[in-house]
Amino acid sequence: MKTAVQITFFRRINYGAALQAYALSTAIRSLGWNCITLDYVTPEHHPFRSRLNLWLESLLCARRNLLYNRFLREELQLSPRYPTKASLMQNPPQADVYITGSDQTFNPAHNRGDSSYLLDFVPQARRSAVRKISYASSFTRAELPPEFVEEYRRLLSDYDALSVREESGVALLRKLGFANAVRCCDPTLLLTTEEWRGLAEKAIRKLRKPYILVYVFPGVLDHHPKVRTLIAELERQLGCEAIYLSGKKKDFFKSRPRVFLNASPYEFLDLFFHAKFVVTGSFHGTVFSLHAGVPFLTLANRDTTHDSRALNLLQSTGAVKHLLTYPLQDNPRDISWENYIQDDYSTALRQQRETSREWLRRQLEQA
């Protein structure tokens, strides 16, 4: 059996990152391949946090951290740990295909300029015998910072095939000279809703009373009070309380609003599938709202210059009505939840899945 190695982000606690890594490896295995996820996270990939913050996080989020890492061990086939770039360059894993996986792997602000995510660790001695591809990688932004342009052009020219997640990424690659770049859907859209429901069934803690699920970065709630007014209005209309899938550590001790700081990836999925309504500011929150089929709103900054991910996804599925930009211009109390009941997006989602899966299959077969 041939082997593919994917490099992507998944170690830092982020539900979308873990689930997209799982989805791509699952899709590759379903095509008859072995798939190894490169266990590569160097210290510089984490933002600076004080010892006190690290201690508080380990204390308050101990269950989440434990279950998140258990998910990675059980659901991914991990390589040996590579704690430094030097260790990766000295002894890279052997494979028939090397893949830059999805998420923001092409975003220099996210990969911190680490060219490992552009596959520079692939041994040159074996280069003619292996393939390099990217699958639905994301630049997030519409333009590269000037200081990265030549390095990206040089490293990406060694790829055999390039796919990215957003149309803005296709346009960026074509500006760099890669005319054959294509758009593929995020790996979380490669799997069917039924497959995600099956994974959600592994959740240990399940909330079955009616609730509105809020998965929005805390800073949005802090700096845009109209968003909180909007959530309160939805609570009034739907007659149930909001629960929050992200928050600050101080929120852990509040009874209202209820904050889930300790959900496992399985419980994360389960909360989407059983919500009465979802308010999200996350790309993957939007993906799993679409999978769940529940009414939802995706909040996005009015300035999409540096992050067009959610807009691109909603445009490609015909679901733009679910996008609400902030700062909010209208009175949040004038919004009705019924306007955000999902239409039938299944055809658009299936077409994206089938087209992207076929592209991936062809690239693997050429190895």
Does residue 176 surpass a pLDDT of 70? Answer: yes
Mean pLDDT of 108-124: 93
Distance CA 10, CA 36 (A): 13
Distance CA 119, CA 79 (A): 16
Does residue 47 surpass a pLDDT of 50? Answer: no
Judge if 3-191+350-365 and 203-345 fold alike in CATH terms: yes
What percentage of the chain has pLDDT greater than the value 70? 91
Class of domain 3-191+350-365: alpha beta
The phi and psi torsions of 318 (rounded to 5 degrees) equal: 75, 25
Distance CA 1, CA 21 (A): 20
The mean predicted confidence, pLDDT, of the chain is 91
Does residue 190 surpass a pLDDT of 60? Answer: yes
Tens of pLDDT, residue by residue over 62-72, are 888 999 999 99
Mean pLDDT of 134-138: 97
The pLDDT, as a whole number, for residue 220 is: 86
Tens of pLDDT, residue by residue over 266-277, are 999 999 999 999
**Residue 172: which of 135, 138, 143 has the closest Cα?**
143
* pTM (predicted TM-score): 0.93
Domain-wise residue ranges, the chain? 3-191+350-365, 203-345
CB 310 within 8 A of CB 298: yes
Q: How confident is the model at residue 248 (pLDDT cuts 50, 70, 90)?
A: low
| Both structure tokens of 229 | 């007014």
The pLDDT, as a whole number, for residue 179 is: 96
**Residue 232: which of 256, 265, 260 has the closest Cα?**
256
Measure the CA dihedral 317/350/269/135, to 10°.
Answer: -90
Q: How confident is the model at residue 224 (pLDDT cuts 50, 70, 90)?
A: confident
What are the DSSP calls for 280-292, one per residue?
Answer: E-SHHHHHHHHHH
| Both structure tokens of 117 | 């995510």
Q: What Å distances lie between residue 59 and 142, 249, 251, CA to CA?
A: 39, 10, 14
The phi and psi torsions of 279 (rounded to 5 degrees) equal: -115, 120
Does residue 31 surpass a pLDDT of 80? Answer: yes
The pLDDT, as a whole number, for residue 48 is: 44
Tens of pLDDT, residue by residue over 295-304, are 999 999 877 5
3-class secondary-structure state, position 4: strand
Domain formed by 203-345, architecture:
3-Layer(aba) Sandwich (3.40)
Alpha helix stretches (DSSP H) within the chain:
15-30, 51-60, 62-75, 85-90, 108-111, 149-156, 167-175, 193-200, 218-223, 225-238, 265-273, 283-292, 309-317, 346-365
**Residue 6: which of 135, 85, 79, 98 has the closest Cα?**
98
Please list, in sequence order, all residues whose beta carbon lies within 8 angstroms of the beta carbon of residue 249, skipping any fewer than 6 positions away: 56, 57, 60, 261
Tens of pLDDT, residue by residue over 72-98, are 999 999 999 999 999 999 999 999 999
Mean pLDDT of 107-126: 93
Q: How confident is the model at residue 43 (pLDDT cuts 50, 70, 90)?
A: low
Q: What Å distances lie between residue 299 and 21, 154, 239, 323, 326, CA to CA?
A: 24, 36, 22, 6, 7
Measure the CA dihedral 61/67/71/72, to 10°.
Answer: 50
The pLDDT, as a whole number, for residue 133 is: 98
Neighbours of 165 (CB within 10 A): 31
